[in-house]
Amino acid sequence: MPQPIPEEAEVYRDHTWGRTPELRIETAAQAERLVESLGFCSTLTDARRSGPSLYIAVCGRRDAFMPRNVQKDPEANLAWHIKDEVMQRGRVYYARLVRARSTFIAPRLIPHFNALWGVPRRKESQVFSPNARAILKVLRREWEMGTRDLRVESGVTDRARFTRAIDELQRAMKVVPSEVLYKPTFTYIWTLAEGRFPEEISKKVTRAEALKEVARVFLQGAGLTVPGELSRVTGLSRPEAGLGNHALVSEGFAERLATGVYRLSSLK
């Protein structure tokens, strides 16, 4: 069972993660500023999941829980529409990344996420499934395509197999949704991540630097992190999450209070 978060850290997170009524997110521009401030956050997770979330910031409270009937819930509805608008504006990165959950990433952190989860082109044939490679081949030729046309052109016509393949490409930071259409039928428009964020995707950073910077932005927003929390939020293994936190201690950005417990040095 996860270790409880001290109340003083929860209060700190209320302000940095937008969990107070006065910081409630109501527009796409406000959501983009939140992502830029945090470095990354989930989109539609609630209080049952660790880490910052657009939905929780839309609710403006710590104990926000997604209802079962999201269509009739005004907060869930607003969070969903803000997510769609932010995706279409393309000023921050959006895809199903961390533990296959939809995630926003600030442009400055894209190189670091790509260093951790991206797949170099030379390794695509070894790593990706045949279905994922077929979809990627079509998008590299066409650059942008709706779900139905992409299924036909790639030959991955089975809906379940297509979904698994497109999620595989999103996790590897190869493909992102650039728009969602609801009429005449619901569909995503897919495009290449390198086409939307060419400079950020092409920038190279080491894995060690990436671990440190991802740990840094999370701790800066969280104030204090407990054992396993960085791993749960980011999808990193616990040893790699520990390496990131240890690097922050070495440079004086964080202090280690106990095994797996790190606090911002500026909060002393």
Per-residue model confidence as pLDDT tens digits over 16-40? 999 999 999 999 999 999 999 999 9
182 and 218 part of one domain: no
Work out whether strand 144-146 and strand 187-192 pair parallel, antiparallel, or are unpaired. antiparallel
Does residue 123 form part of some domain?
Answer: yes
Q: For 69-106, what is each residue's pLDDT tens digit?
A: 777 889 999 999 999 999 999 999 999 987 778 999 99
Domain boundary among 84, 105, 126: 105
pTM of the model: 0.94
Does residue 176 form part of some domain?
Answer: yes
Domain boundary among 149, 183, 202: 202
**CATH for 220:** 1.10.10.10
Does residue 214 form part of some domain?
Answer: yes
Full domain range(s) for residue 220: 207-267
Residue-wise burial string across 49-64, b where 16 or more C-beta atoms lie within 10 A, e elsewhere: bbbbbbbbbbbbbeeb
Domain boundary among 87, 105, 123: 105
Residue 47 and residue 83: Cα distance in Å, rounded?
Answer: 18
The residues of the chain scoring below 70 in pLDDT are 1, 268
Does residue 134 form part of some domain?
Answer: yes
146 and 119 part of one domain: yes
175 and 248 part of one domain: no
Does residue 110 form part of some domain?
Answer: no
| Number of domains composing the chain | 3
Does residue 41 form part of some domain?
Answer: yes
213 and 182 part of one domain: no
In a 10 Å sphere around its CB, with 0-12 CB exposed, 13-18 middle and 19+ buried, how is residue 245 labelled? buried
Looking at residue 82, its amino acid is I
Residue-wise burial string across 226-236, b where 16 or more C-beta atoms lie within 10 A, e elsewhere: bbebbbbbbbb
pLDDT of residue 4: 87
